[in-house]
Amino acid sequence: MKKYNFNPGPSVLPEITIKNTAEAILNLNGSGLSIMEISHRSKDFEAILKESKDLLKELLNIPSGYSVLFLQGGASLQFAMVASNFLNKKAAYLDSGSWASKAAKEAKLYGEVQVVASSKEQNYTFIPKNYTIPADADYFHITTNNTIYGTELKTDISSPVPLIADASSDILSRPMDVSKYALIYGGAQKNLGPAGVAFAIIRDSMLEKISRPMPTMLNYKTFVENDSLYNTPPCVAIYACLQTLKWLKDLGGLNAIYKMNTDKADMLYNEIDRNKLFMSPLTSSEDRSIMNVVFVFKPEYKALEEKFLEVAKSKGIVGIKGHRSVGGFRASIYNAMSDEGIKTLVQAMKEFESQA
């Protein structure tokens, strides 16, 4: 049976990404060697790395004066790297979800952390607004998409201090004004490729602010100065990311995918709002994520949860069980999720309603 993969991450990837990567694992460009067994300093791999960076720059319209890095340790190591490199005295954090909170926790190891606002008391059902960014902070850290709670900051905010964003789960889902950010980072395994590689888009002038001695592998300078080749990068994961980037470009780039993403999200939110069994737990509809759609049964239907999961499973729908901290359901509808997948889920919801 055809499967519709709504997993939050690692998550659905374009078929072509998986097919091309499988081929390159067997035989890279007819070389008779696997992408797994060639040198990361070979001409072949250097070309793969360069094309990946160039395509990311092109798709996101990254201005000059920025570097694109591929790193390891996931977004979670970026939490510590950001603070190790840039928190000299005090940093400001927006607490919009548990990833944001984990990022702030790492920062506390390096200096003062000022949480400018938090929606934790309301179980992160909205993104805090109306806060003041302290002008004396070394940087302001935000999470653009709260993967677990299904809230998304869809505009590129202005900040009086360098703006740093964890965009793990909405990178490349919409056009972004990169010039507003000092650093954008994330794990690749939500919208770009497999687990094992993280990306960072860093304004080069930020490197001048690094003053703390730290391990070589934690220092952004190491990756900028060595073009992400200080040590062995995750070659296979980067190859897979390149296939997704090419797929995105062929599709028409970020304006095209953004239109498709909003259409897909609208289809699902419209059904959640219409269906008498379901509701959104969010308190502010403007914060609804176009990547992770969180929905729950209305209190009186809560007992039906397991049954709906079974019905969904019978239709090939995979990975919609909600995160344990929210309950209910979460449909992660990243770039590679098809219209057909959304329609299948909507149909399952309609049928379930008619039989309840």
Ligand X SMILES: *Cc1c(COP(=O)(O)O)cnc(C)c1O
Please list every residue from 10 through 69 that binds ligand X, using CB under 6 A. none
HSE, side-chain direction, 13 A CA sphere, residue 89: 5
In whole angstroms, what is the distance from residue 139 CA to residue 183 CA?
Answer: 10
Q: Which is nearer to ligand X, 99 or 220 (CB)?
A: 99
**Binding-residue total with ligand X (CB under 6 A):** 12
| Closest CB 310 distance from ligand X, rounded Å | 27
Of 237, 212, 206, nearest in space to 224 by CA: 206
**Residue of the chain from 4, 5, 6, 9 that contacts ligand X (CB under 6 A):** 9
Token pair of 104, please? 């702030």
Q: Is 150 in the site for ligand X (CB under 6 A)?
A: no
Q: Is 143 in the site for ligand X (CB under 6 A)?
A: yes
Q: Is 293 in the site for ligand X (CB under 6 A)?
A: no
Beta strand pairing call for 278-279 and 292-297: antiparallel
* Amino acid (1-letter code) at residue 162: P
**Residue of the chain from 152, 156, 166, 287 that contacts ligand X (CB under 6 A):** 166
Catalytic residues: 99, 166, 190
In whole angstroms, what is the distance from residue 151 CA to residue 144 CA?
Answer: 9
H or E stretch covering 47: helix 43-60
**Residue of the chain from 42, 72, 76, 222 that contacts ligand X (CB under 6 A):** 76
| Closest CB 347 distance from ligand X, rounded Å | 28
**Residue of the chain from 14, 150, 187, 193 that contacts ligand X (CB under 6 A):** 187
What are the angstrom distances between the C-alpha of 149 and each of 72, 139, 201, 204, 304? 25, 24, 25, 33, 21
**Residue of the chain from 190, 264, 288, 330 that contacts ligand X (CB under 6 A):** 190
Which spans of this chain sit near ligand X (rule: CB under 6 A)? 9, 74-76, 99, 143, 147, 166, 168-169, 187, 190
